[in-house]
């Protein structure tokens, strides 16, 4: 709990500092006042991504059960980061109609969460089918998994965007969201790299036993598929 509280405290300090800069920018229109603080957005995004959530477990589970290479695993994490942050920007910019339909409470988007979990459930079922049948892994599936996991919008990005829009400077919120996405992508990219390297190392240890490699690969894929399905089902019940 101590580490989590520290992460929350760091986020709060960065958010408050940047809120002041947005206020200054709204009054002066001076980009230099804003640009000096934009690098803090990278730290903000990284710290935020280290807190619970952000589909880190889903990403790690999917990549461990897939046959994705390191570059493809990193591309999945990048798509997840972009969609996660970008969805909040889109919701804020489209404001009234989308917010009234998608957002049921502050910082949450129940409709998008349902869509995300549903898509992850479908991907999980597909992984189960592939695992039991021993078929190859579809490359497009990884991109779909990243998109589905990222559909849940980032609440803090939404707060920053809403504040910037209320001050009449949505471009300041977009700029902050862009650098924040870099921080999120760095953390999720590290998770993706660890998951892919773990699977590759495990299979390398079994390289002298082809049958064992096939059995382990299919077993991991089945377990990963089951986890994704369970996540989808539990979220639906909740």
Q: Which ranges of 29-169 would DSSP assign to H, the alpha helix?
A: 31-35, 39-50, 56-65, 70-94, 96-102, 110-133, 139-150, 155-166
3-state secondary structure of 129: helix
Which residues on adjacent β-strands are paired with residue 108? 105
**Range in 68-72, 88-92, 171-175 the model is least confident about:** 88-92
3-state secondary structure of 26: helix
Residue 97 reports pLDDT greater than 50: no
DSSP for residue 134: T
Which pLDDT score, from 0 to 100, does residue 136 have? 54
Residue 137 reports pLDDT greater than 60: no
User: Higher confidence at residue 185 or residue 34?
Assistant: 185
Residue 219 reports pLDDT greater than 50: yes
Q: Is the dihedral of CA 70, 81, 149, 11 positive or negative?
A: positive
How far, in Å, CA of 81 to CA of 100, rounded? 24
3-state secondary structure of 68: coil
Which pLDDT score, from 0 to 100, does residue 218 have? 78
Which pLDDT score, from 0 to 100, does residue 134 have? 64
How far, in Å, CA of 19 to CA of 117, rounded? 33
Contact present, 120 and 207 (Cβ < 8 Å)? no
Q: What is the mean pLDDT of residues 45-61?
A: 80
Which pLDDT score, from 0 to 100, does residue 101 have? 42
pTM greater than the 0.85 cutoff = no
Longest dimension (CA), the chain: 68
| % of residues, the chain, pLDDT over 70 | 84
How far, in Å, CA of 130 to CA of 191, rounded? 24
Which pLDDT score, from 0 to 100, does residue 106 have? 46
What would the two tokens of residue 99 be?
A: 């917010």
Contact present, 141 and 126 (Cβ < 8 Å)? yes
How far, in Å, CA of 62 to CA of 195, rounded? 9
């Amino acid at each position: 709990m101590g580490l989590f509280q520290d992460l929350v405290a760091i986020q709060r300090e960065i958010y408050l500092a940047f809120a002041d800069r947005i206020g200054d920018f709204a009054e002066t229109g001076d980009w230099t006042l804003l640009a000096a603080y934009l690098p803090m957005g990278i730290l903000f995004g990284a710290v935020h991504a280290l807190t619970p959530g952000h589909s880190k477990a889903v990403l790690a589970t999917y990549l461990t059960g897939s046959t994705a290479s390191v570059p493809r695993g990193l591309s999945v994490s990048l798509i997840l980061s972009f969609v996660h942050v970008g969805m909040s920007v889109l919701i804020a910019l489209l404001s009234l109609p989308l917010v009234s339909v998608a957002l049921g409470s502050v910082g949450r988007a129940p409709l998008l969460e349902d869509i995300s979990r549903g898509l992850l459930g479908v991907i999980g079922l597909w992984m189960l089918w592939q695992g039991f049948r021993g078929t190859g892994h579809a490359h497009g599936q990884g991109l779909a998994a990243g998109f589905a996991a990222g559909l849940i919008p980032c609440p803090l990005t939404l707060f920053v965007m809403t504040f910037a829009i209320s001050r009449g400077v949505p471009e300041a919120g977009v700029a902050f969201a862009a650098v924040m996405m870099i921080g999120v992508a760095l953390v999720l990219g590290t998770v993706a790299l660890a998951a892919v390297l773990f699977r590759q190392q495990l299979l390398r240890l079994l390289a002298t036993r082809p049958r064992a490699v096939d059995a382990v690969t299919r077993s991991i894929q089945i377990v990963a598929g089951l986890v994704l399905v369970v996540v989808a089902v539990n979220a639906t019940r909740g």
